[in-house]
Amino acid sequence: MRRVVITGMGVVSPAGNGTAAAWEAVRLGRSCYQASADRGFHKPLGTVDRGGGANAPFQPAREIDPTVKMALEASREAVAQADFAQLIDRNRMGVVIGSGAGNQQTHEMLARRMYGEGKTRFHPLAIPRGMFSSVTSAIATEHKARGVAFSVSSACASATHAIGQAMLCIGSGGADVMITGGSEACLTPGCLAAWDSLHVLAQEYCRPFSAGRDGLVLAEGAAILVLEDRQHALNRGAVILAEIAGYGACSDATALTAPDPSGMARSMRRAIDHAGIDPDQICAINAHGTATESNDRSECAAIIEVFGARHGRIPVSSTKSVLGHSLGASGAIELAMSVRSLQEQFVAPTANHLAPDKDCPVDCVPNQGRAARLATILSNSFAFGGLNASIVVRHAEAA
């Protein structure tokens, strides 16, 4: 298998456009969400300013879905950083993008017009704009990527699965360069109402691993990464940001909504084994860390299973405490933040922590980040349906 490195990253998040804006908020533990009563929803949301304000009206008849728009914006930052100034073979460049809900705003608009307004005729591009794969097609078209291209939808693990598949494609020789990541824009009335019915949404703050936590904060956003065969990157003089060292995925094959610690542990072990290292060589964890009672408790149990007596000494941060839970995009955003953590040798805090929870006996880096020697970070994504994915990312100097 060929080694796979990261040569570009782009992020659109509630902290603002750009990887730097997201990292600054994550590094400082500054939560970027608030109640949004103008949407008729009074719980905190992590919204993205898409131009004209975060809540600017969306008109699919005249523009692409926000899921596609955010992914394109993030891809431009990532591709610019990767710097393809020298000619690369676009036939050997592919695209894999993950999204849990797809183009939700387009779907709800069509449903509202048909069932609410009685309309039976729509814009002729309504189907192409509503397809899950439209984000992949848009990125492939913009960047002239003519290699393998497809979309992944596996709920909150979508982006991590997409990145893992892109890694495997390069590793097996199927591509030299892959544009990959995730995008999600589903803060719509129907989606919010559905999530609210699950009784897992926070009233004020996302407090992963903390006593007194009361749920997650829904958010939107996108993160796109450029992955590249290491030798290909070196040959063209690219700057290597980090290495994707290992990828693991599995299914719980149990309950639809109840997480299974054994499945989470299996995913982490597979990623660590794929990286060819021991658990003791993992320096920090970017947790799935949603701040729901069951997820945090289960993830901590899985960490104990994998890391044994070291579970209380390895830093475990949750990016969602700052940027919210962007569902299918969250794994890509969190991987980008893990790369920045490696670059700055700094473990980001888990924000909004109130007090330790006996069921979560991990070092969650409460409220205040810290300098650390970091060679590797394990990033987790665990989705409804028991769909688990983990990635090990390695410091650029080791790549």
325 is known as an active-site residue: yes
HEC assignment per residue over the chain = CCCEEEEEEEEEECCEECHHHHHHHHHHCCCCCEEEHHHCEEEEEECCCCCCCCCCCCCCCCCCCHHHHHHHHHHHHHHHHHCCCCCCCHHHEEEEEECCCCCHHHHHHHHHHHHHCCCCCCCCCHHHHHCCCHHHHHHHHHCCCCCCEEEECECECHHHHHHHHHHHHHHCCCCCEEEEEEEECCCCHHHHHHHHCCCCECCCCCCCCECCCCCECEECEEEEEEEEEHHHHHHCCCCCCEEEEEEEEEECCCCCCCCCHHHHHHHHHHHHHHHCCCHHHCCEEECCCCCCHHHHHHHHHHHHHHHHHHHHCCEEECCHHHHCECHHHHHHHHHHHHHHHHHHCEECCECCCCCECCCCCCECCECCCEECCCCEEEEEEEECCCEEEEEEEEEHHHC
274 is known as an active-site residue: no
C-alpha distances in Å from residue 149, one per residue of 93, 134, 140, 184, 233: 9, 11, 7, 18, 20
Selected catalytic residue, list 107, 288, 311, 353: 288
Selected catalytic residue, list 32, 156, 250, 300: 156
Q: What is the Cα–Cα distance from 276 to 305, expressed in whole angstroms? A: 19
Selected catalytic residue, list 325, 353, 360, 395: 325
395 is known as an active-site residue: no
Give catalytic residues, as residue numbers: 156, 288, 325
